Amino acid sequence: MPTRLPVDAPLVSRLVAAQFPRWAGLPVRPVAEEGWDNRTFRLGSRLSVRLPSAAPYAEAIDKEQRWLPVLAPRLPLPVPVPLARGVPGEGYPHPWSVHPWLDGAPARRENIADLTEFGTSLARFLVALRAVDPAGGPAPGQHNWFRGGPLTTYDGQVREALGTLARQVPVERAWEVWRSALRAPWDGRPVWFHGDVAPGNLLVANGVLAAVIDFGTCGVGDPACDLAIAWTLLTPGSRRAFRDRMGVDPAAWERGRGWALWKALTTCARALPAGGAELAEGRRVVGRILGERASGAR
C-alpha cells in the first residue's frame, strides 16, 4: 500500500492562496472522515479541497475533471463536480481539485431513516449512472485498481486472504461463493460504474441519501462491483429492494457477491494482527454474504 503524503491545513492554505487568489483567506480545516486515497479539507463553508494522498491516486484527478461535469446533469443526486484544478506547488507534488462542499454524513444504519427507501434511492442513482453514454469513458486500469474488470484480477488476493483466515471464516463455503462468482458470465457490454459504492461515499442528510461522492475509481466496464454495498450496509429486506430496483440478473448478482467477498476477506486479513472493530465488521460482512448464498438467494 503506498505511503501517504503528509498534508496539513497550512499547506492547503498556501496552495489555494498561490493558485486561486479569489479563495485566499478562507479558513481551511481537515474533515473528520477523509478516506484513504485523498486528503480532504473544508475551504470556507461552501468548498472542499481534495489532494491525492500518494502518486497512484493522482491519476483520478484528470478523470474526475473530465467526466464528472458530463455525468452530473444525468444523475438524480448531487455529485462533487470540480470547480478548479490545482497543480503541484509549495512542495506538494500532485494535481489536486477544489469541489463544492456537499452536506451530509457518511451512511450508517443508525443515521438512515428507512433502509428500504435508501436502497431504492441508491439503486435509482446507479441505474441512471449506467444509462449515461459510455463512449470514450475510461476502461478499467491502474487508475481505478481495475474495478469494473474481471474478478480474476483479485483471485490471488482472495486465495492469500483465505489462507490467512483459515481459523476465522468458513473457508470452504467462502471458496464456493468465490468460485461461483468467477464463473458468472458478463455480457461484455460496458457501462458506467462508480467503483467504490461504500458507506463513506454515500452522504446522508435528514435520514435519506443526499449525495454520492468520490468518483476516483469510476470507469466504464462491468458494473457488478457497485453491488457490493448490498452486503456491506443493507439488511435482507433493503437488499431485496435494492436488487429489484437495479434489475440485475442472477449472474450479475453472483459477481457482485464476489466483489463484496473479496473486499471483506482482504479487510479481515489486513486487520487480523490488530483485531478490533475492523476485523469484527469484516467477519460480519462475510457472514452476511455466506448466509444469503446458503439461503438460496440468486
pLDDT tens profile 7-39: 999 999 999 999 999 999 999 999 988 888 999
Q: How many CB atoms lie within 10 A of CB 280?
A: 11
Q: Which fold has domain 105-294?
A: Aminoglycoside 3'-phosphotransferase; Chain: A, domain 2 (3.90.1200)
Residue 294 confidence (pLDDT): 77
What is the grid cell recorded at 262? 473479496
pLDDT at 293: 80
pLDDT of residue 94: 97
pLDDT confidence of residue 214: 96
User: What length is written for the chain?
Assistant: 298
In terms of Cα–Cα distance, which of 167, 195, 180, 164 is closest to 267? 164
Residue 184's pLDDT is what? 98
- Given this model, what pLDDT does residue 239 score? 98
Set of cell numbers at residue 199: 458507506
pLDDT attached to residue 76: 98
pLDDT at 298: 60
CA 239/CA 120 separation, integer angstroms: 9
pLDDT tops 90 at residue 69: yes
Mean pLDDT, residues 250-254:
98
What percentage of the chain exceeds 70 in pLDDT? Answer: 99
Cβ count within 10 A of residue 56: 14
Of 74, 96, 103, give the one whose Cα is nearest residue 11: 96
pLDDT of residue 172: 97
Position 164 scores a pLDDT of 97
The reply to whether CATH 3.20.20.70 applies to domain 9-100 is no
- Cβ atoms of 270 and 237 within 8 Å: the answer is no
Position 151: which residue type? L
pLDDT of residue 297: 67
162 three-class SS: helix
Q: Contact, 278 vs 156, CB < 8 A?
A: no
| β-pair partners for 98 | 49, 84
Continuous segment of H or E residues that includes residue 14: helix 9-19
Round to whole Å and give the CA distance between 157 and 41: 33
Q: What is the DSSP string of 57-121?
A: GTHHHHHHHHHHHHHGGGSSS-----SEEE-SBTTB-S-EEEEE----EE--GGG-S-HHHHHHH
9-100 matches 105-294 in fold: no
Please report, for the chain, the start and end positions of each structural domain, with discontinuous segments joined by +: 9-100, 105-294
pLDDT-above-90 percentage for the chain: 95
| The three grid cell numbers given for residue 144, joined into one nine-digit string | 481505478
End-to-end CA distance of the chain: 34
Q: How far is CA 18 from the centre of its chain?
A: 32
How does pLDDT run across 224-238, given as a tens digit for each residue?
999 999 999 999 999
Per-residue pLDDT reduced to its tens digit, 92-124: 999 999 999 999 999 999 999 999 999 999 999
Q: Residue for cell digits 491519476?
A: 59
Rg (CA), the chain: 19
Averaged confidence pLDDT in the chain: 96
C-beta neighbour count of 190 within 10 angstroms: 18
Cβ atoms of 80 and 213 closer than 8 Å: yes
Q: Cα-flanking dihedrals φ and ψ of residue 51, to 5°?
A: -125, 120
For 54, phi then psi, to 5°, come to: -160, 165
pLDDT in tens, 162-210: 999 999 999 999 999 999 999 999 999 999 999 999 999 999 999 999 9
Q: How many CB atoms lie within 10 A of CB 255?
A: 27
